[in-house]
Amino acid sequence: MPEILMPRLSDTMEEGSIAKWLKEPGDMIHDGDVIAEVETDKATMDLIAYEDGTLTSIVVREGASAPIGAVVAIIGESGATAEPAVRDDRRNAKAAPAEEQKISGGSAEQDDFSVKKALPAQHGDTSLRLPSSPLARNMARNAGIDLADIQGSGPGGRIVRADVEAAVQNGRTQTIAIPSSPQNGSGHTSTLLPVNKMRKITAERLTEAATIPQFTLTSQVELTKLNALRQEINTYLSKFNEKVSVTDILIKACANTLVTHEKVNSSWAEGQGILLHQGVDIGLAVALEDGLVVPVIKGAEKLSLRQIAGLTKSLIEKARSKKLTPDEMKGSTFSISNLGPFGIEQFTAIINPPEAAILAVGSANMVPAVKEGQIAMISAVKLTLTVDHRILDGAQGAAFLKDLVASLENPSSILI
């Protein structure tokens, strides 16, 4: 029988969790049907069938995880008899949450955070786990909630998704007693927040980036002409219910400048050399509650400002709804991180390996400047370029930043 395997849905994916099955055993399946939703380290993706037939069994239940290449379901010939869905999620090495591990002496084995969780015996048999759905167990584990603290509303007191969601809304989190010590004084409790897949991958990438020899360069950009041009453009685009942001203009300006500074638009190829890219694919850092994703505006040097604005808006919306595809998150040659909307005046962004540089954008502020021999207040923003010193030297990074500032202060050149 054809087996449906857990696919690789992103470059950094090692395992996936079944968020929701859209088909049940006994349902007819056709090539191209979306049969489930899979949660990866970056997004929730569709699981697509590539065979016709009957879904005879589900191997990985909702809420459980499986490594890439593991069997998640089986399709039989049309009309085949459906088998009962797998009841024991431990058939996959990584499928069982810690709460489902064998209980010995009335308490569960330690979970990933080395925290003992006591699970009550059921009907006198400590080998039985709390009645709960796989999805509820996975959600509770990610939220740091002990299932023993939740009153189930399902049949027979079974804990279901809605019960965990209610517990999260009520602010119930797992607490750990911290004993007294000279360091913390009197004893207190601390909240343990489990790390989800997206946060784990973010941590791994940033740890890798921390090993890169890097330096930063900062310049100030006057926004007088840029703001005037943006206002004029948005007045015209308002009739189409469209607009461009400062970030959109920055993306276009960076793309144009990178064309003439090819080493800034390059990557470090370990053990081989420097990889010069023919096209400009700009990654835009988008902060989510669970971590950081970087959708990519591909071929930015060939796109108009209006096209960039539309594409950026679409990618950000997809990022926030966790609907980005793997192709939309890979291949960037240069990145931009903008914390200006959060009121951050200046900051240093960490390089996104293997790129040569990343641009950090601060907030716009009124600052004093000399204009025609007089002190005047102008709107300005600080740009900080973080550079991989293995690829670029200070003078090369400074030359790029100088040309970028000139482009932004004379923004009509961006439209040519």
In 3D space, the residue among 208, 349, 291 whose CA is nearest the CA of residue 42 turns out to be 291
CA atoms of 100 and 159, how far apart (whole Å): 14
Within 8 A by CB and 6+ apart from 135, the residues are 19, 20, 62, 63, 160, 161
Candidate list 123, 188, 277, 389, residue with the active-site label: 389
SS (H, E, C) the chain: CCEEECCCCCCCCCEEEEEEECCCCCCEECCCCEEEEEECCCCEEEEECCCCEEEEEECCCCCCEEECCCEEEEEECCCCCCCCCCCCHHHCCCCCCHHHCCEECCEECCCCCCCCCCCCCECCECCCCCCECHHHHHHHHHHCCCHHHCCCCCHHHCECHHHHHHHHHCCCCCEEEECCECCCECCEEEECCCCCHHHHHHHHHHHHHHCCCEEEEEEEEECHHHHHHHHHHHHHHHHHCCCCCHHHHHHHHHHHHHHCCCCCCEEEECCCEEEECCCCCEEECEEECCEEECCEECCHHHCCHHHHHHHHHHHHHHHHCCCCCHHHHCCCCEEEEECHHHCCCCCCCCCCCCECEEEEECCCEEEEEEECCEEEEEEEEEEEEEEECCCCCHHHHHHHHHHHHHHHHCHHHHHC
Active site annotation includes 389: yes
- The set of catalytic residues is 389
